[in-house]
Amino acid sequence: MKMEQALALQVDQDRCDFFKYYSYERADFLGAGCCAAVYKAKFLRETKRDFTGEIVVKVHECSDSPKLEAARSEQSKLDKLKDCALINKKIAYFEDLSIGKAYLVLEYAGEKNLSTFVEERTVAGRKLDYVEVEQLTHQLLRAVLHCHGAKIAHRDLRPDNLVVSQSEDGVEMSLKLIDFNVAWDLEKSEQIQGSTGVKEWSAPEMY
């Protein structure tokens, strides 16, 4: 499946406006959810925009109107959150409706989500200490506060959607909030409809 999906992206790149503007070093398949496949790439040169470096490309299947609207909705929410360094930054968004795909291009936030980071530290016998937990909690609350200030409800807060990193000296912890696929724009409707996300990480009143 990994090779097939990577090959599919390679074929799509020849027909997508985004990849006509940039050169990339690789297209590593990172994973797939219910709405999109995710790839990591790296720009070799910049021509149209002021960004170079590693990126993530979310390839949305937009074979029908609801799926296309979902892709457009996610990128519009990220536009509203672009000023917060604790939230994964959107770089570009392109559609190729001739093949039913939308491409959401994001900064590469890092290799490890909080679940993986905690698991590796636990196996190594080095659980998170109080200071590290305090740093991550403070950053998460700031990210959520920024979302709510922009009238965006994330609706899927869990360790898998928190990318974390640590400074080389091990003193500072950094966090980024990712994946706004099921987020809700409260400016469009203050009444959030339906339940979403992972049940084990959802508020009790959602069920």
The amino acid that residue 142 corresponds to is: R
The percentage of residues in the chain with a pLDDT greater than 70, rounded to a whole number, is: 75
Going by their DSSP bridges, the two strands 162-166 and 152-153 should be labelled as unpaired
Is the separation of the CB atoms in 183 and 155 below 8 Å? yes
Tokens representing 142?
A: 């700031």
pLDDT of residue 76: 93
Record: fold of 114-206: Transferase(Phosphotransferase); domain 1 (1.10.510)
Report DSSP state, residue 83.
T
In CATH, what number does 2-107 get?
3.30.200.20
Is the separation of the CB atoms in 78 and 105 below 8 Å? no
For residues 29-35, give the mean pLDDT.
75
Is the separation of the CB atoms in 161 and 33 below 8 Å? no
**Residue 55 pLDDT grade (very low, low, confident, very high; cuts 50, 70, 90):** confident
Is the separation of the CB atoms in 89 and 8 below 8 Å? no
Segments of the chain assigned to CATH 1.10.510.10: 114-206
Sorted by sequence, the CB contacts under 8 Å of residue 46 that are 6+ apart come out as 22, 52
53-57, 82-86, 90-94: the lowest-pLDDT one: 53-57
Q: How far is CA 198 from CA 75, 92, 139, 182, 201, in A?
A: 22, 28, 22, 11, 6
Give the chain's mean pLDDT.
Answer: 81
Token pair 């909030």: residue:
177
- 79 compared with 59, residue with greater pLDDT: 79
- 159 compared with 197, residue with greater pLDDT: 159
pLDDT of residue 7: 44
Q: How far is CA 155 from CA 38, 66, 161, 194, 204, in A?
A: 20, 19, 11, 11, 13
Distance (Å, whole) CA 152 – CA 78: 9
Token pair 């899927």: residue:
156
The pLDDT tens digits for 146-157 are: 999 999 999 889
Is the separation of the CB atoms in 182 and 145 below 8 Å? no
- 105 compared with 145, residue with greater pLDDT: 145
Segments of the chain assigned to CATH 3.30.200.20: 2-107
Is the separation of the CB atoms in 201 and 195 below 8 Å? no
Q: How big is the CA angle at 139 (ends 137 and 144), to the nearest 5 degrees?
A: 95
